[in-house]
Amino acid sequence: MNAAVSGVVTVAAPAKINLYLHVIARRADGYHELDSLMAFTELADSLTVEKAGTSMIEASGPFADRLPDGEDNLVIRAALALAEATGRRPDVRFDLTKNLPVAAGLGSGSADAAAALKGLAALWGLTEDTVDMIALAREIGSDVPACLLSTPVFVGATGEDLDPAPPLPRAGVLLVNPGVTLATLSVFENRRGGFSPEMRFDEAPADVAALAEILAERENDLTEPALGLSPVIADVLAALEAAPDCRFQRMSGSGATCFGLFDDQEAAEAAIPAVEREGWWVAATRFRETGTA
């Protein structure tokens, strides 16, 4: 966890992408069991936490105006949950730089919540045995536990089961969102058909081409229902497929953001002109290094 300096902590909140996502069952309570491989990118929101006389959050950045208010904001929900679990008052100020689109399949709200937990733990001097952070993260949101780790991870059940994934090559990643938001619940409600098997793997891909071969044998089972709600996703996937040197393309999570994989970040940046469209958000990045803050 980050060490607090002068009562201020800054934590990155990396975007997640679902390299594959299989819906493997539907539970009696209506929730779906998943098998997914999550990876994280260097592109991130940034959250600064500091002591204050009262709890507040200030947001800036290109997507600051799309954040929910009050406890609908996962940063606030995380602060309240950790304060209650440790018997503290959440008298802190959050400054959030919102670089990632909201409701876009990148887990940006979950990443912000995970960053809040990390930042508060450092600010308050909490040790590893003070509170079970993973268990607390599960209560906040299904993607928050994985975002708390921010390393390649296989995600099972409804998001709470986490298993380390093999190391991934340092791929370049091109993220493209057509300027639409999709609610995860709506995408699941629009889903029809059967279920897919769990398809985890043990060996680390040697390079991006090898990773692309592995992913080609798997799917994102939410793509079809997302396309039914937002057909423009097909245009995004076609643009990425046609982009020079793109090794693989897929929708992330419940959409509408899609990603293309490249040999390195420079190749992803070079492909930006090929996929740019009016109203689309496009960003080049790369997989995050394991162990970075």
13-31 pLDDT per residue, tens: 999 999 999 999 998 888 8
User: Is 161 among the catalytic positions?
Assistant: no
Q: Is residue 293, in this structure, part of any structural domain at all?
A: no
pLDDT digits (tens, 9 = 90+) for 54-109: 888 999 999 999 888 777 899 999 999 999 999 999 999 999 999 999 999 999 99
Q: Is residue 2, in this structure, part of any structural domain at all?
A: no
Provide the mean pLDDT of the chain.
94
Among residues 45, 112, 143, 221, the one annotated as catalytic is 143
Q: Is residue 1, in this structure, part of any structural domain at all?
A: no
Residues 141, 209 within the same domain = no
Residues 145, 180 within the same domain = no
Residues 201, 117 within the same domain = no
Q: What is the 3-state secondary structure (H, E, C) of the chain?
A: CCCCECCEEEEEEEEEEEEEEEEEEECCCCCEEEEEEEEEEEEEEEEEEEECCCCEEEEECCCHHHCCCHHHCHHHHHHHHHHHHHCCCCCEEEEEECCCCCCCCCCHHHHHHHHHHHHHHHHCCCCCCCCCHHHHHHHHCCCHHHHHHCCCEEEEECCCEEEECCCCCCCEEEEEECCCCCCHHHHHHCCCCCCCCCCCCCCCCCCHHHHHHHHHCCCECCHHHHHHHCCHHHHHHHHHHHCCCCCEEEECCCCCCEEEEECCHHHHHHCHHHHCCCCCEEEEEEECCCCCC
The number of beta carbons lying within 10 Å of the beta carbon of residue 211 is: 23
Mean pLDDT of 210-230: 98
pLDDT digits (tens, 9 = 90+) for 248-292: 999 999 999 999 999 999 999 999 999 999 999 999 999 998 644
With tokens 């009016």, the residue in question is 278
pLDDT digits (tens, 9 = 90+) for 154-196: 999 988 899 999 999 999 999 999 999 999 999 999 999 899 9
Residue 140 pLDDT class (50, 70, 90 cuts): very high
Among residues 16, 35, 45, 221, the one annotated as catalytic is 16
Residues 239, 196 within the same domain = yes
The span from the CA of 155 to the CA of 110, in Å, is: 14
Written as one letter, the residue type at 199 is M
For residue 113, give the nearest of 141, 139, 74 by alpha carbon.
74
| The last residue of a domain, from among 164, 198, 215 | 164
**In this predicted structure, what is the pLDDT of residue 1?**
44
**In this predicted structure, what is the pLDDT of residue 4?**
53
Q: Is residue 291, in this structure, part of any structural domain at all?
A: no
Residues 80, 114 within the same domain = yes
Q: Is residue 43, in this structure, part of any structural domain at all?
A: yes
Residues 29, 155 within the same domain = yes
Contact 45, 108 (CB under 8 A): yes
Residues 30, 155 within the same domain = yes
**In this predicted structure, what is the pLDDT of residue 146?**
96
Greater pLDDT, 221 or 54 = 221
| The last residue of a domain, from among 129, 164, 199 | 164
Q: Is residue 89, in this structure, part of any structural domain at all?
A: yes
pLDDT at 293 over 50: no
Q: Is residue 3, in this structure, part of any structural domain at all?
A: no
Tell the burial category of 2 from Cβ atoms under 10 Å away from its Cβ (0-12, 13-18, 19+). Answer: middle
Residue 50 pLDDT class (50, 70, 90 cuts): very high
User: Is 16 among the catalytic positions?
Assistant: yes
Look up the domain containing 105 and give its range: 8-164
| The last residue of a domain, from among 164, 194, 227 | 164
Residues 148, 192 within the same domain = no
Residues 160, 178 within the same domain = no
Residues 13, 127 within the same domain = yes
Residues 156, 190 within the same domain = no
Torsion angle of alpha carbons 147, 36, 34, 186, nearest 10°? 70
Residues 73, 209 within the same domain = no
Number of domains in the chain: 2
Q: Is residue 292, in this structure, part of any structural domain at all?
A: no
